[in-house]
Amino acid sequence: MAVMDRGVPRAGFVLVGGKSSRMGRDKAALPFRGRTLLEHIAAAVAEAAGSVTLVGAPERYRGLDLPVIPDSQSGMGPLAGIHTALSASHAAWNLIVACDLPSVSGPFLKMLMETAEASGSDCLIPTSPSGYPEPLCAAYHGRCRETIGEALRRGIRKVTEGLAGLKVISWNVPEASWFRNVNTPEDWTTYLNG
């Protein structure tokens, strides 16, 4: 199922397929700034990419006025979610963001997409000041799809390993807070009180 028309330069996706087991409830539904965390992230992605589609269980997100595509390989982790997004998109560049990054903003994600488009790479992965790659807030060119699909067929689940053979460029981001994710109730409380 294609979510974009051919020739569209950008598409945006939010991965919502996780079980949120450490949080004890759906992270995407956490209340945040007058809406849900997912709605906040989806708005930022749409601002940067011109569209947003959720990748996860459609029945969980029916109440939102957002397109949802089911993860084609449920239970295989975020690499499979990335592959699902790329398989559904006809855009050259695809912004893919996890649903648990409350600090992301439209302007930051726009800058990421502009950097990706000018990079000559297959994938642009932000790197935090600690040197840690952030592949769940990254830009993927459509040509990554086949390589990622092959990695999944070989049983690879780690996102960075699934990109082997592609031209991946690290984008150094001086502020680690963009990538602060929330996995537990304690993480969420700390974030809100921080």
pLDDT of residue 193: 75
Tally of domains in the chain:
1
Residue 98, domain extent: 10-193
pLDDT greater than 80 at residue 185: no
Instruction: Give per-residue pLDDT as tens, 164-177.
Output: 999 999 999 988 77
Q: How far apart are CA 2 and CA 167, in angstroms?
A: 25
Q: How far apart are CA 132 and CA 164, in angstroms?
A: 17
In a domain, 3, yes or no: no
Contact (Cβ atoms closer than 8 angstroms) between residue 28 and residue 64: no
In a domain, 1, yes or no: no
Q: Which residue has the higher pLDDT, 192 or 148?
A: 148
How open is the CA angle 54-141-88, to the nearest 5 degrees?
Answer: 40
Instruction: Supply the mean pLDDT for the chain.
Output: 88
In a domain, 2, yes or no: no
Instruction: Give per-residue pLDDT as tens, 94-112.
Output: 999 999 898 999 999 999 9
In a domain, 4, yes or no: no
The two structure tokens encoding residue 147: 């390589």
Instruction: Find the CATH number of the domain harbouring 174.
Output: 3.90.550.10
In a domain, 169, yes or no: yes
Cα distances (angstroms) measured from residue 60 to each of 29, 91, 138, 175: 10, 26, 24, 33
Provide the percentage of residues in the chain whose pLDDT is more than 90: 61
Q: Which residue has the higher pLDDT, 80 or 19?
A: 80
Lowest mean pLDDT among 7-21, 46-60, 102-116: 7-21
The two structure tokens encoding residue 171: 């984008």
